[in-house]
Structure formats: C-alpha cells, structure tokens
Amino acid sequence: MTPRVPRLSILWVRSTSAWSFGATDSCSGGWGPALASRVADGSDFRSDRPDRAQKSRFRARWSPLAIAGRLAARVARTTPPSKRRARDAAWEAIMKKARAAVERRCRKQASSQAGRKKHALGSSQAKPSTSDAYAGTIPEFPEAPAGLAKPQEEVVLQASVSPYHLFRDAAEVTVFRENLLSWYDQEKRDLPWRRRAKGEVDLDRRAYAVWVSEVMLQQTQVATVINYYTRWMQKWPTLQDLASASLEEVNQLWAGLGYYSRGRRLQEGARKVVEELGGHVPRTAETLQRLLPGVGRYTAGAIASIAFGQATGVVDGNVVRVLCRVRAIGADASSTLVSQQLWSLAQQLVDPARPGDFNQAAMELGATVCTPQHPLCSQCPVQSLCRAHQRVEREQLLTSQSLPGSLDVEECAPNTGQCQLCAPPTEPWDQTLGVANFPRKASRRPPREECSAICVLEQPRALGDARILLVQRPNSGLLAGLWEFPSVTVAPSGQCQRKALLQELRSWAGPLPASHLQHLGQVVHTFSHIKLTYQVYGLALEEQTPVTTPSGARWLTREEFHTAAVSTAMKKVFRVYEGQQPGTCKSSRRSQVSIPASRKRPSPGQQTLDGFFQPHIPTDASSLNSAAQ
C-alpha cells in the first residue's frame, strides 16, 4: 500500500492542469495562453500555430514523466525529515507509473524506426527536436530526492547486431543468388509438386498444387510425402474437388501422415476460397496469411513466391540452418530477435527475377547438403560466403602446431559481449561439430506422459469376417475426428485399469463378459507434446453375444480397418492384438510395441538351445525307415 503524503493529490492536479490549458508563456514557449485565448473567443487559430520547437518544449515540460519529476522534487522540499520514508515510497509509486508510460511510447516509436540508419554526424550541428530526443531517452531530474537513484538517461530499444552477421554489400548478395540458383538448376530433385506447378498454366490450380505440398511437408520428410501427395492430387485435383469432399474422406487419406489438423485446415481453406473468394486463391503473401485458415507466414510466402512470383523470402527449418551457418548466428534461433533477423536476411537474399526457384533452392540446400549432421561442405555452392566454414578453418589452424600464428579471418567482436546473434559464452565452440555448431539447438520441454487403457473388441460372425469396434474421437483436440478403439485414461500405476475399461466398453457395446478381457501388451507412441502409453487389452465375444451400436461407433472388418481414418498408433495397437512380433517399429522411431513375456516368441538363440536339448523326432518316411533299421 502506498503511504499517504500530504497535499500530494493537490499538487498533482495543479501540475497536470497546465497540460490542458498552459500555465505560463515561459513553460510552453508562448503557446499556452495564446491558444487558450483564441479558443475562448472562437477565432480561427490555425494560421498562427506554434512552430515545432515550441511544441517540442511544451511536450518535454508537460510529459507525465517530467510532471512526476517536478512533483517529486516539490514533495521533497515540503515534506519534513520525519516523513522521509513515506516521501520516498510516494516517489517510487509516481515514478514507476510515469516511467512505464514513457517507455511504452519509446518502444512504439523505436519499432517504427527499426531498420533505418542513423543520421550522418554532419547533421548533428543543428539542434535535434525535443520529440526526436524524447523517443530514445528519458528526461533527467536534477531535483530528485536524495537517496534515490536517477533514472537511466538512455533506454536501449534495439538489440546490438554486429555487421559480421549481415550481408553488407550488393556484391555478396549477387554472388549468393547466382551460385545457389546455378547449383539448384543442376542438382534439384525431381518431385511431383514441382512438376505439377511448373506445367500448370492456371494460377489457381498452380497455387493449390503448391499449397497442398507445403502443408504436407511441414514436419514430414519428402520421401513420406510423395506417395500421399500423389494420391491426394489424383483424388482431388482442384480446389473445388477438395471443398466438396467430406472430413471423413480427408482424414482417411491423411491417416498415417501425422499432425492431422493440417488436413482439416487445408480443406477449410479450400472451402473458403470456393465459397467466399470466388474460387481464386489470394495472390500475395499478406492476403494469403490473412484470409486462409492454417496458412502461416512460411506457407503464405512459399505459395506467393512459387505460384505467383512474388519476391518474398521464406524461412523454414532448412533455411534457418543455412542462414545461421552462412552468417554464423549462434544465438537461439527460436527467439524473437533471431527469428526477425533470419526473415530479414531471407527477404534481402531472395532473387526478384526467380523468387520461387530461389526459395526452393535454399530449402533444397538445407535438406540435401547443409544437413543437421555431417553436412557436405565440399559440395556447398555458397561455401566461400559461409562464416561457419571460415570459423572451422580458423579453429583448425589455431590448433595446428605446424602453422603458428592466427589466421586473418573476420569475426564478430567476441570480447564485447553485446552481440545478441552470437552464441552465449556458456556454450563454447565444439571442435568436433564443425559447422554443426550452428544453429544452436533450442532446449525443448520433454513431452508430458499419459497412460491409456485400450481394448480391441471383436465380434465373430457366422458369415464373413469378424468385426471390430471403433469409436470416433471428438472434433477438436488430439487426433480430432479420427477413429480408434475404445479407450479410457488411467493412472500410470495401473490400478483399476480393467474396471475402468470394462465400464467404457459397456457404454459402447452393452453388457460384456468381464472374464474374457485379457491384457496383451503395451504401445508407447510419442506425439508432438504427449508421450502416450497404451495398455492394450483384447476381448473376443461369442457369436451369440448381443451388442449395440450407438452414435459415434461402428463395426468394421479387418480389411476395412486398414483403410479407415485411423492413426498410426491404432495400427500399432492392432498389431499387438494380432500377435505380431514385438519390437520397435521401423516406420516410426517414436513408436514402440511390446507384449508380455509370456506371449513373446523365443529368440533365435533360445530356439537353438531348445532344439539341442529336445529329442529329434523324424517326420518323413525315409527317416522313419532308417531309424527302424
């Protein structure tokens, strides 16, 4: 609670009232009384406006921070020594609010001037206007109470960035563009979306082809996407075809690709283009990002540059790696400062004549040459411009005893500690990594762990294959709208799993025999932020057992299950039910399947030992005859 100070509120009202009416000529440069008199008699005062200097002096004197400083000084003179502590507390409260208001204004003005160069020193002969000085400084208060620190004169509004991390002349940019595009023309991979975009004359269909590929390639490898992209474009070759499809069909084709919300948002965007935009895809990156759901800054830039030829840069994981190594950016690439700098570099480098090819070339370089581990620096077309490669050469020469001395290589001033694009001092250079020291790996939170009991409920049929029960997940959240086996979230300890799972099963299929429920094993699957352990159960019903099929559930054959809209985790669960060999899935490092030891097949070594100690029993006739003789 702020201590009360006598006359504090009165002083504040008296001081701030001058802001509106102008107390004296001296404080406002002749503006206050003149302006008040003209307003009072209704005359037109526009022809006699005060000049900029007068306005600046007025703002400087009657800004909230200046008023607070004079007010605090006045309180200091009128407050007796016995109330000095209360006076200091009041000063703290006043200055905190006033300083916060000024700093917000300073940051706003500085952000609008970001990227502009400072004025030449020769222009400093003329006195700068108070408003310009006000944008970067906080006024000083010589009358502040004793014992309180004065506010800092300068407010640091822009991070210090060394020219070492930038492209400083047009020659470097030109060489980078020419070398990269020349390499791309010779080494680019033949991919289906590139062929389709290149051969498509209709701009909307070309944009749709690029759009689908860019969404599928998010967090997914090219080799995995090729098959999905081909099947997608065969089924829905135009935006109109996708807009008329059902979400069930989209989820069914997307099943196994991961990050299932991407397919849903892609269809939502197609419907918006068809229903609200007349079937025409927005032509610029800005309108693409603003109008289409699920289209972020990267996807919008990729579509605009590849399909429409807009000269806009893009930054994805591959481009981040390339730029961080080329300009030796060792700070956390996920931070706001570094992210903005990378986007600025990408925009500076993009070739206005071939923006789509340039962006694809930068991504291609990061995917095939400038890889996260074991990069192929000898094949890099921009090696001569790579700061990381220069750093590797310098470190190798410094550690070599046969070559004493230091290499004359430009580097960022490491001793100042002010460059926020360099690696922090706590992360020294690792000689074994080489250029892979860049970019810095961001620390990730470990996924939270959850446990779920899940059951494959199978019903035999007199005619045809047996059927299994699937239920649909909610339309929002993890795996939205997909189908899965009935499950229930349980504690990792495993207590009361069977009881909770039986209750869930009976809510879907009616009364079920509890004695037939068997635990088969577990499946561990890691999503982007959740490590989910499925405790797999199986329950095979008798043929005469009556079951119900409520809304949101359906019975499918095994063949229908493999083509349904189910996640990869559900296919792992079904493999455990079918009794397949456990182990780590080859198609996904993040999934692991295991079954109880009582149900596991013996290893090859164990089979050899068992065969050695068991008596050999011949099975063919010749062996029987020879044994009888």
Region 547-555: what's the mean pLDDT?
84
pLDDT score of 111 more than 80:
no
Q: Which of 50-59, 331-340, 430-439 has the lowest mean pLDDT?
A: 50-59
What is the token pair recorded at 628?
Answer: 């009888």
- pLDDT score of 460: 81
- Our answer to whether residue 214 is catalytic in this structure is yes
pLDDT score at 515:
81
Of 178, 200, 214, 395, the active-site residue reads 214
Query: Which residues make beta-bridge pairs with 16?
Result: none
Listed as own residue / partner, the contacts of 224-233 with beta carbons closer than 8 Å and 24 or more positions apart are: 224/257, 225/257, 226/191, 226/192, 228/253, 228/254, 228/257, 229/192, 229/193, 230/192, 233/192, 233/196, 233/209
Distance CA 595, CA 605 (A): 19
pLDDT band at 140 (very low <50, low <70, confident <90, very high): very low
pLDDT at 440 over 80: yes
pLDDT tens digits for range 376-424:
999 999 999 999 999 999 888 887 755 555 445 566 765 455 688 888 8
- For residue 524, what are the β-bridge partners? 533, 592
Asked if pLDDT for residue 371 goes beyond 90, the answer is yes
The answer to whether 139 and 60 have CB atoms below 8 angstroms apart is yes
Question: Can you give the three-state secondary structure of 117-160, one letter per residue?
Answer: CCCCHHHHHCCCCHHHHHHHECCCCCCCCCCCCCCCCECCCCCC
Q: At what angle do helices 8-21 and 32-41 cross, to 10 degrees?
A: 70
Poorest-confidence range of 396-410, 413-427, 564-578, 613-627? 613-627
The model's pLDDT over 222-246, given as tens digits with 9 standing for 90+, comes to 999 999 999 999 999 999 999 999 9
Q: Each residue of 276-299: pLDDT tens digit? A: 999 999 999 999 999 999 999 999
**Rounded to 5°, angle at Cα 153 from 147 and 156:** 125
The answer on pLDDT for 2 being more than 90 is no
